[in-house]
Each structure stands twice: as structure tokens, then as C-alpha cells.
């Protein structure tokens, strides 16, 4: 009998239905889709200083406010749009975060042009293969990694805002660059299997 015969989900996800759904359906699933990458870039940047639950509850508001997370459209937003967004109760009404989302969209497009896709740029730090971690407790799960340090540093040089190493690592967890589901969580094996099958479209 193994130690982990009793399967329980990651303890952080059990508090609310929003967390449960996010954990069970999205968190840790590898993606090479630029629209999804931009969505999480927007949401993770908005989360800075706030709880992730706050952002999950405003996710649909962000979807509507930021053109279904289309970076090409968001990159065209002007000062008038910033004022409109600042009055929108369905998103975090922080001017700096709103403005950074627009400038981040422009930098996102520049990376797309340079690398062929933003996802390809991100996955290049991992040799296109997810990292399969084997954490037993939440205390073992790090807040940053060498990859998040490298990526956030490079993105800062490229002009990105609100995307430090801690936020970057949360982004890596969400998009399956690292599998940080605990060994006791059923999703650990699911995401590990998805990671083994993952083959980015540029390969």
C-alpha cells in the first residue's frame, strides 16, 4: 500500500466553488495557446496585492472589458478607454494596472513577432517540456523559481509591468509549465499525463 492511496485535492482549492472549478479544470494544464497566455497575463498582473479569488470572481468582467483577451485589440486602447475602464466595477479599478495591461499587450505582440508566438517564448525556458514536481505538502511549494526569476527579469527589460517573479511563478503554475499539484491530489497524475503528451504546435 502506498502512502498516497487516499487522494485529496490540493488544500488551497477547497474553500470556494470558484477555486474548486479552477483547480479541477484549468490549474496546471499545459497550454501553447497565445490567447490563453494573454488571458492569464492580464489576470495574474491584476491580482498583484489581491487574492486570486477576487480575480476569479471578476474574470468575466475582464473578458468583456478587455476584448475577450485579444492582445491586438487591447493594444489599441487609448486614454479615453482607460477612463472608461477605470469606472468599470467589474474589474480592478486601478489606473496603473489598467494602463499596464494595455502596454503589456503591446509588448506581448512584439514578442509574438519576434518568436512566432508568446507561448513559444515562454516554453523556451523549459525546453518545451513541463516540469513535474513531487510535492507532498503545501509548505514545499515554492513562491518563485529560477525560471520565474529569469522570465520576469527579461519581461521587465522588455517593458512589462506587474509581472515580478512571484506573479510569474503563479502564471507558470496556472499554465502547466510546472505541475505543482500535491502528490495526494488526483490532478497531479492527470496533469503529469497531460504534460507527457504535451507537444507544442511549433515542434
Please say if 52 is a catalytic residue: yes
Per annotation, catalytic residue among 22, 26, 99, 125: 22
Give the rounded distance of the alpha carbon of 21 from its chain centre. Answer: 16
Strand partners, 178: 131
Per annotation, catalytic residue among 39, 44, 121, 147: 44
Please say if 22 is a catalytic residue: yes
Q: Are 187 and 23 in contact (CB under 8 A)?
A: yes
Cα 152 to Cα 28, 55, 167, 177, 185, distances in angstroms = 19, 21, 9, 14, 29
Per annotation, catalytic residue among 26, 52, 99, 125: 52
Give the rounded distance of the alpha carbon of 27 from its chain centre. Answer: 9
Please say if 44 is a catalytic residue: yes
Active site residues: 22, 44, 52
Amino acid at each position: 500500500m502506498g502512502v498516497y492511496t487516499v487522494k485529496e485535492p490540493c488544500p488551497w482549492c477547497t474553500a470556494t466553488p470558484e477555486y474548486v472549478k479552477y483547480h479541477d479544470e484549468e490549474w496546471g494544464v499545459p497550454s501553447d495557446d497565445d490567447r490563453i497566455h494573454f488571458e492569464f497575463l492580464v489576470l495574474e498582473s491584476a491580482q498583484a496585492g489581491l487574492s486570486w479569488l477576487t480575480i476569479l470572481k471578476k474574470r468575466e468582467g475582464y473578458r468583456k472589458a478587455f476584448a475577450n483577451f485579444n492582445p491586438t485589440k487591447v493594444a489599441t486602447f487609448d486614454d479615453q478607454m482607460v477612463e472608461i475602464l477605470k469606472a468599470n466595477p467589474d474589474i480592478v479599478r486601478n489606473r496603473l494596472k489598467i494602463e499596464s495591461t494595455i502596454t503589456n499587450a503591446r509588448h506581448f505582440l512584439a514578442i509574438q513577432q519576434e518568436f512566432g508566438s508568446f507561448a513559444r517564448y515562454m516554453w523556451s525556458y523549459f525546453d518545451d517540456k513541463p516540469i513535474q514536481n513531487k510535492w507532498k505538502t503545501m509548505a514545499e511549494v515554492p513562491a518563485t523559481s529560477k525560471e520565474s526569476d529569469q522570465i520576469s527579469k527579461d519581461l521587465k527589460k522588455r517593458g512589462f509591468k506587474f509581472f515580478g517573479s512571484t506573479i510569474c511563478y503563479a502564471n507558470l503554475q496556472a499554465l502547466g509549465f510546472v505541475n505543482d499539484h500535491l502528490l495526494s491530489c488526483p490532478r497531479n497524475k492527470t496533469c503529469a499525463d497531460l504534460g507527457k503528451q504535451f507537444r507544442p504546435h511549433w515542434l
